[in-house]
């Protein structure tokens, strides 16, 4: 599945109120560390976030070049998202699944998937759909989930209950994350069999210090 130079191709799923360009910048240090191992391919979420949305999962507008985007909304009426908001049904997830299908079709194949925050929650959903054989398009060999969490939407619970995802996974979360507290990321671990963990001291970001480099590299080496 990998290309000729043995580089792993990874589909990158940005966080809420980010876009592919801003996420590419925020993962610059990681991309530099892993450039001999991976090729990172970034896509945009299909939904523009209304500028009035001041939910907790926000990036400062100055951090985002272009539209602020999201993968689904927990609040139908206001088109906003909060990871803690319990809701019966969400808005926009089907369009996001289609966006990933098209990315796999047009930009793939991909060896793995990397998601951040809401993007990591989506990546976990994709792995569950793949495990349940509900999405023949997806064939990810591994997942890296940074500040991931379980959706609190009742409509999405079939993706978690009674599912054992066999896709190898690396779960990355920070002890000082105020947006997605580490307990929320830890709640995602039971979904994945044999999950690997990188628990760093920082907050809501993709860690790429030299101390973390070998953990990413060791995880990825087994797929080359």
The H or E element containing residue 171 is: strand 169-174
How many Cβ atoms sit within 10 Å of the Cβ of residue 126? 26
CA–CA distance, 119 with 148 (Å, rounded to integer): 8
| 52 close to 72: Cβ distance less than 8 angstroms | no
Q: Compute the Cα dihedral for 85, 181, 10, 21 and give only its sign.
A: positive
d(CA 151, CA 136): 22
Whether the CB-CB separation of 201 and 177 falls below 8 Å is answered with no
Q: Please give the positions annotated as active site.
A: 117, 177, 204
Q: What are phi and psi of 215, to 5 degrees?
A: -70, -45
Element (H, E) at 12: strand 8-13
């Amino acid at each position: 599945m990998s290309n000729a130079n043995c580089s792993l191709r990874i589909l990158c799923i940005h966080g809420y109120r980010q876009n592919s360009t801003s996420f590419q910048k925020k993962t610059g240090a990681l991309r530099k560390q892993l450039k001999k191992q991976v090729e990172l391919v970034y896509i945009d979420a299909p939904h523009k976030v209304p500028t009035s949305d001041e939910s907790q999962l926000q990036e400062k507008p100055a951090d985002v070049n272009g539209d602020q985007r999201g993968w689904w909304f927990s609040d139908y009426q206001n088109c906003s998202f909060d990871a803690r908001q319990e809701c019966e049904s969400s808005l926009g997830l089907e369009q996001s699944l289609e966006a990933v299908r098209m990315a796999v079709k047009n930009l793939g194949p991909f060896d793995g998937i990397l998601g951040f925050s809401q993007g990591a929650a989506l990546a976990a959903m994709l792995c569950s759909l793949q495990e349940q054989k509900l999405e023949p398009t997806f064939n990810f060999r591994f997942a890296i989930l940074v500040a991931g969490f379980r959706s609190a939407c009742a409509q999405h619970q079939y993706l978690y209950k009674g599912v054992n995802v066999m896709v190898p996974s690396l779960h990355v979360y920070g002890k000082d994350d105020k947006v997605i507290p580490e307990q929320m990321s830890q709640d995602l671990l039971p979904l994945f069999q044999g999950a690997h963990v990188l628990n760093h001291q920082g907050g809501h970001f993709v860690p790429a210090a030299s101390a973390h480099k070998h953990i990413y590299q060791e995880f990825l080496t087994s797929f080359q």
